[in-house]
A and B are shown apart, each in its own frame.
Chain A
């Protein structure tokens, strides 16, 4: 049974995949899907209840919440994907370096990785943003840096295991450079693990971006970011609860979608881990 058929038998994973597709389509087709301009203000209709012209209601400035939720998927996915690239590239470089170099460099790098892995991730991201300053780009960098240690550990472990195998030894003896070793022998072996990690990383990246934006340290107004929308809705929570709660629902569904796909992929690619926490 191939990994794909195993994945297709997992109904929850398929549900997650469907949600991810909806999310991607909404991000790609936002200008056509959104019923109204997400920046259009209408102060006489501020905090309009859901229904009628504003399907999901209007916010404090009378902006259409549905349109802003649709545009918000762009921010969430873009920050998620770009930070994933940072995490993968950084982790591949450091992991290969630690694995091939060994010795004290390996020891120092892995000690640092262990400390960073155990450190509360929101505090880490907060510290990075505190230093870089708020904004979408800096949020992406902060989220990406947070992902580097885990990728480093996956890559290093695999390099260490494969370094000792005979075919890698043979390739080295023939004078194959480290970059070629990495591409031909090491990478193919860690791709399944990295795919699973990257999917689950997307879920956490969306959560982290939302949290930073909620605190006012992430994406800045007037960009439609889900976390930012919850934050502005918080001021009118007791008079118009829908302004804060509707965008939060979008965050939850997006995170749930990537978690379901990630869990499904892990079970499909590595049946030995099935059902483990």
Chain B
């Protein structure tokens, strides 16, 4: 088990190095020049050259890449161009807010999605099933930033129940988390419905029923446990999509997280900050997938982790 975790974490290293390489290379190929942008068009040649040297832009790509990776090993991500603060500090300020938001959304997606999917599967073609399937179709078709705005109009403007935006209390979290969760709720409920329906058609479920096992026990012990593997895989994939959705949700609700920081960095052409933000997202992505793989073993004894 331990060797498996260590191996997977080691596998993450080339992935992250690759991400850094691709990001740096594409920025390098850009026509726009960050230095001219910072100093304005009327800056003297000397000033431009001095700043280029200060930022290390006068060196070749290979030297800068090795340099960046070397400093990365010491936890040094460079200084942001716009704020002139260490990138690591800016990211450290922002990531807890994004983590809070995505975990809240993931919990909503898992709870509501699985519950709705199971009810749909137990009573297929019922009124609830029809409504849930229609709802999930809409959930997958609504642009997330628009859902957020509609929720603001309903719950903040008309009902005056919840704040329009910002962070700080639990009431600030409700609308952004609901917004971010909605497409995932739709995906999870669809997947749960079909997974549970599949399992309920299996021979061992019929056997269990035939020997007089109670319907709830059949559902909990046999159906759900077996249906959980595909659901869990989907939740892992969804947590990746949630990170992307967080960019939009944070923009709509002025949520002070990584997504908003990333959009700000793009607008300010602050490539050093952008590089750091992309790296954190990539790292989070690797960790989430590792957690999903590990949980297979816990849920399904047939999956063993030897070596």
Say whether A associates with B.
yes
> Residues of A at under 8 Å CB distance from B?
115, 118-123, 126-127, 129-131, 133, 203, 207, 210-211, 214-217, 227, 230, 233-234, 237-238, 241, 244-245, 248, 251-253, 255-256, 259-260, 275-277
Q: List 22 A-B contacts (CB under 8 A).
A: A122-B248, A123-B244, A123-B247, A131-B27, A203-B141, A210-B143, A214-B143, A215-B263, A230-B145, A237-B149, A237-B153, A238-B157, A245-B146, A245-B153, A248-B143, A252-B141, A255-B141, A255-B142, A255-B143, A276-B194, A277-B190, A277-B193
If over half of A's interface residues share one DSSP class (helix, strand or loop), that class is named, otherwise mixed; here it is helix
Is B86 interfacial (CB 8 A cutoff)?
no
Name the segment of B42-50, B62-70, B235-243 touching the other chain.
B235-243
By a CB distance below 8 angstroms, the chain B residues around A238 are 156-157, 164
Is B245 interfacial (CB 8 A cutoff)?
yes
Instruction: Give the contact-size bracket for chain B.
Output: 35 or more
Partner of A130, one of B143, B241, B252, B274: B274
Q: How far is the CA of A122 from the CA of B250 in the complex (A)?
A: 13
Q: How far is the CA of A252 from the CA of B142 in the complex (A)?
A: 5
| Known contacts A120-B281, A122-B247, A245-B153; is-contact A216 B15 (Cβ 8 Å) | no
How far does the Cβ of B302 sit from chain A's closest Cβ, in whole Å?
A: 23
By a CB distance below 8 angstroms, the chain B residues around A122 are 241, 244-245, 247-248
Are B262's CB and A126's CB within 8 A? yes
Partner of B145, one of A123, A214, A253, A277: A214
| Known contacts A256-B141, A277-B194; is-contact A245 B243 (Cβ 8 Å) | no
Is B3 interfacial (CB 8 A cutoff)?
no
| CB nearest to B26 among chain A residues | A131
By a CB distance below 8 angstroms, the chain A residues around B164 are 238
Q: How far is the CA of A203 from the CA of B27 in the complex (A)?
A: 30
Partner of A119, one of B145, B190, B193, B285: B285
Q: Mark B240-268, 1 if CB is under 8 A from A, else 0.
A: 11111101100110000000001100110
By a CB distance below 8 angstroms, the chain A residues around B248 are 122, 211, 214-215
By a CB distance below 8 angstroms, the chain A residues around B241 are 120-122
Q: How far is the CA of A227 from the CA of B242 in the complex (A)?
A: 20
By a CB distance below 8 angstroms, the chain A residues around B109 are none
| Known contacts A215-B251, A251-B146, A277-B190; is-contact A259 B137 (Cβ 8 Å) | yes
Partner of A118, one of B140, B145, B237: B237
Are B247's CB and A215's CB within 8 A? yes
How far does the Cβ of B271 sit from chain A's closest Cβ, in whole Å?
A: 9
Query: What 11 new A-B contacts, CB under 8 Å, besides A215-B248, A252-B146, A277-B191?
Result: A120-B242, A126-B266, A133-B32, A207-B143, A215-B263, A216-B267, A233-B149, A248-B142, A252-B141, A255-B142, A256-B141
| CB nearest to A117 among chain B residues | B237
Are B143's CB and A211's CB within 8 A? yes
Q: How far is the CA of A263 from the CA of B247 in the complex (A)?
A: 28
Is B150 interfacial (CB 8 A cutoff)?
yes
Is B138 interfacial (CB 8 A cutoff)?
yes
Is B144 interfacial (CB 8 A cutoff)?
yes
Q: How far is the CA of A118 from the CA of B266 in the complex (A)?
A: 23
Is B30 interfacial (CB 8 A cutoff)?
yes
Partner of A217, one of B191, B252, B266: B266
By a CB distance below 8 angstroms, the chain B residues around A120 are 240-245, 281, 285
By a CB distance below 8 angstroms, the chain B residues around A217 are 263, 266
Q: How far is the CA of A129 from the CA of B247 in the complex (A)?
A: 14
By a CB distance below 8 angstroms, the chain A residues around B191 are 277
Q: How far is the CA of A90 from the CA of B15 in the complex (A)?
A: 23
| Highest count of chain A CB atoms <10 Å: which of B142, B237, B278 | B142
How far does the Cβ of B125 sit from chain A's closest Cβ, in whole Å?
A: 11
Is B115 interfacial (CB 8 A cutoff)?
no
| CB nearest to A275 among chain B residues | B194
Are A119's CB and B240's CB within 8 A? yes
Is B110 interfacial (CB 8 A cutoff)?
no
Is B101 interfacial (CB 8 A cutoff)?
no
How far does the Cβ of B277 sit from chain A's closest Cβ, in whole Å?
A: 10
Q: How far is the CA of A272 from the CA of B153 in the complex (A)?
A: 43
| Highest count of chain B CB atoms <10 Å: which of A130, A210, A234, A259 | A130
